[in-house]
Every structure is written in structure tokens, then in C-alpha cells.
Amino acid sequence: MEEFVTLTYNGQEIKLPVVIGTEGEKAIDISTLRQDTGFITLDPGYANTGSCLSAITYMDGEKGILRYRGIPVEQLAAHATFKETAYLLINGKLPNREQLTHFSVMLNDNSLVHEDLRTFFQSFPRASHPMGILSAMVNALRSFYPELGSTEEEINITMTRLLAKVRTMAAMSYKISRGHKVIYPRPDMTYCENFLNMMFDTPVKPYEINRAAVNALRVFWILHADHEQNCSTSAVRVVGSARVNLYAAISSGIAALWGPLHGGANQAVIEMLSTIQADGGDPIKAIEKAKDKNDPFRLMGFGHRVYKTYDPRAKIMKKMCDELLETMQIDDPLLDIAKELEEVARKDSYFIDHNLYPNIDFYSGIVLRAVGIPTNMFTVMFAIGRLPGWIAQWKESMDDPKWKICRPRQVYTGNQEYEFVPIHARI
């Protein structure tokens, strides 16, 4: 039976339909509110606004639950490959053997990038941030691969092309930034092995596959693969709603992810931990600074719009971080500082009262350091991981006949109408 809520204003009653999701999440459908009443809703930062119906990812911020297409992220991190996870997100179900083989062949066949893209890389100033380069490069793919197609098969090729090429472009940008020879992708390697090989193989020192590093990268990418309607995913959906091509929509997601309040936090955490270390290693100072309302500093890697308990991804990341450093016999002083910082923060009433827990970015930078990824590439690593989620969300919105161009309203607070005054008469 359909449920409604009733809104009463000045004696007028308006019935608004209630929408209930498969996990019992409730929403009020206000899409006819303006037409029925002249009112709009006001929700800065969309903290309480559902922008769409989605069957991709479920998260419960109070209970610390995250599932892709119904499967708990803990199970995927323990057993799945990144490729299977990407397939699951984009296609809605796990692939069978034949589907997985076909997907792997398509990824390999599309993994090379146009050689002319190298000149594109080389024209960026040396100090450019890799996220700026990646966003521009992904947008440029539209010019290098103009055939986007409209049939399901053609759209599948565009999506796979993007998944395959972003990984190659990321490794290529690292090699070019170091002035080293570019290493091409190899069809005999897994998705994760291939990336590490393209990053670290050199003509003088061939890359030897390190199982612990490959596994860490697999888990890292799976944990980042989707997170429902976050800032960058919303950017992809909003930009996509204007019916731009997939590359342009994803390029906008990369730009949004770059921000330190979002994906850029993984780089910011390492920079913060390094500053604390250089400053004598005392976490209390950083905690006090983060609590000071006159200081813009925030504890990076802490807090989340949705999670009001421990981020389930951060739990897995922290455990993996410990195991990885032990297996690789790495002693990273930043891990000790991070743990101390977490311990102090979690006992502090400000952090308790504000429900501020470590998020995925708090320990992920230490994992990436152990794998050998340079700090300025951390957010690029996040972007490669998030790509299947962005693609799945873009596809879902494009397949949704109700997905209109995104165009929020506002409440105007500026001047009321007044007359233009010619320059000679202005005081």
C-alpha cells in the first residue's frame, strides 16, 4: 500500500508519497512540491537529499555497512579480484568464467593508449599534479577515440576502453614525470600486477612481482570501487545528465575527487603525519589544532558525511596496513604516529561528540607508501579504483528514463530590483 506524509502550511494540506528502499531506507518524494505549493526544499551540501534511486551500492552510516550489489565489501576484499568487482558493479552481478574471460580479453585488447597522448603528457609543466593531468587526459580520450556508439555492445567497449586505458595512462604519466622509458601493458599479467609492472619495471631492473604488494593494491582498489552518491560520483551523474560523453563525465569526477575534503585526503593525511613527525611527533598538538574553531586545520582522514561510526573500509585498510608492513618488513614511523593520533582522537570528547572516526584515507596512504607509490599519485590510485563505480553510476543514470538534466533551484538572497545608475552619477 502506498504511504504518504502530509505537509501542512497555512491550513493547506499536501500529501507527499513515501519511497522505501529494499533495505528499508525512507524518503519523501518532493518532486511535485513546487508545482503544488510554490515551495522548494533547501538542503545545502545535499546532506539530506536523495538525488536518485540506485541499485548499485548500499551503505548504512550508523551501522558501518557497505555492500556492492548486495555483497558485503568485506567478502569482496577477502575473495574477489578487482576485475570481478568492476564487472559486478557495472553489470549488476558477478561474472561467470566465460564472462570474466571475455572481460579480461577486452581489457587487454584496449589497454594500449594512442602514442600521440605522450606528447600531450610532455606538454604539461613538470610540477603539474597528476590528478590535473589525468582529468585532462581522460577528457582528451573523446578526441582520440571519437567512436562512442549507441548500442549496448558499443557502450560496453567505451566503458572497457576507459577502464583499461586509465590504468595505463596513470603509470605512463609517472614514467614520463621521471623522464623514464614508458612500459607497455602485458596481457599475461593480472590487472594489479600489470599496473605495478608498468610503474616499476625498468630496462636496468626488471620488476619482480611482489605478492604482498599486488594483494594490497587489489584490496585498496576494491575498497575504493564505489561509495554511492559521494561528491565525485554526483559530479559524474550531474555532468552526465547534460548528456555529455562518458569521458567528459568521468573527467569531472576526477576533478572533484582531487579535493582534499574528498579523495585528496589520502595525500593530505601523509603530509599531515609528516608535518607532525617533523614537529617532534606529538599528536596532541594536531588534535588541539583540529578542535580550534579559529583554525581552519582539520584532522585529515577523520570524519565522514555518512559514517557516524568506524568506516568499514578503514577497518579493513588498517588491518591490511599492519599485515603488509610486517610481511614487507617495513618500519614506517608514520604508522606509529597515525595509530597514536587515532588513539588520542578516539578518547577525546570533541571527536566522540562529533562522531569523528578514521575514514578510508587515514591508513591508505601508508599502504600506498609501502607499495612504492609516490605521494602525489595517491589520489590517482583512488581514481583508478573508483572508476568502475563512476561508470556503473553513469550507466545507471543513462538507462533511467526519469534521469533529467540536473538543475537544482536556489533561494535568492541578493538585491531586489533597482535602477542602473550611469557612471557620471555614481557616488
Catalytic positions, written as ranges: 304, 361
CB of 342 to ligand ACO, least distance (A): 12
> 255-274: which residues touch ligand ACO (CB under 6 A)?
261-263, 265
CB of 5 to ligand ACO, least distance (A): 25
Residue 299 binding ligand ACO, by CB under 6 A: yes
Could you tell me the CA-to-CA distances from 164 to 7, 100, 158, 294 in Å, in that order? Answer: 50, 14, 10, 46
Cα–Cα distance measured from residue 268 to residue 79, given in angstroms and rounded to the nearest whole number:
30
Torsion of CA 170, 165, 102, 222, to 10 degrees: 30
State how beta strands 71-72 and 65-68 pair: antiparallel
> Which grid cell sits at 347?
578518547
Provide CB contacts within 8 A for 336, sequence distance 6+.
Answer: none
Q: Provide φ and ψ at 74, rounded to 5°.
A: -60, -40
Give bridge partners of residue 9 from the DSSP assignment. Answer: 12
Residue 385 binding ligand ACO, by CB under 6 A: no
CB of 70 to ligand ACO, least distance (A): 22
CB-nearer residue toward ligand ACO: 135 or 359: 359
CB of 180 to ligand ACO, least distance (A): 30
In the shown chain, the binding pattern of residues 345 to 364 toward ligand ACO, with x for contact by CB under 6 A and - for none, equals ---------x-x--xxx---
In the shown chain, the binding pattern of residues 18 to 47 toward ligand ACO, with x for contact by CB under 6 A and - for none, equals ---------------------------x--
CB-nearer residue toward ligand ACO: 327 or 375: 375
To which residue does cell 524518503 refer? Answer: 27
Terminal-to-terminal C-alpha distance of the chain: 65
Q: Which of 253, 301, 365, 389 binds ligand ACO (CB under 6 A)?
A: 301
Residue 54 binding ligand ACO, by CB under 6 A: no
| H or E segment to which residue 28 belongs | strand 26-28
Choose the stretch contacting ligand ACO; rule: CB under 6 A; options: 10-18, 125-133, 171-179, 299-307.
299-307
CB-nearer residue toward ligand ACO: 160 or 229: 229
Cα–Cα distance measured from residue 175 to residue 169, given in angstroms and rounded to the nearest whole number:
10
Residue 302 binding ligand ACO, by CB under 6 A: yes
CB of 265 to ligand ACO, least distance (A): 4
Residue 315 binding ligand ACO, by CB under 6 A: no
Residue 339 binding ligand ACO, by CB under 6 A: no
Cα–Cα distance measured from residue 242 to residue 252, given in angstroms and rounded to the nearest whole number:
12
Torsion over CA: 188, 194, 197, 203 (sign)? positive
Could you tell me the CA-to-CA distances from 381 to 164, 335, 387, 409 in Å, in that order? Answer: 14, 20, 10, 35
259 residue type, one letter: G
CB-nearer residue toward ligand ACO: 24 or 45: 45
Reported in sequence order, the residue ranges of 52-165 that DSSP labels E, i.e. its strands, are 57-60, 65-68, 71-72
CB of 302 to ligand ACO, least distance (A): 4
CB-nearer residue toward ligand ACO: 16 or 269: 269
Residue 330 binding ligand ACO, by CB under 6 A: no
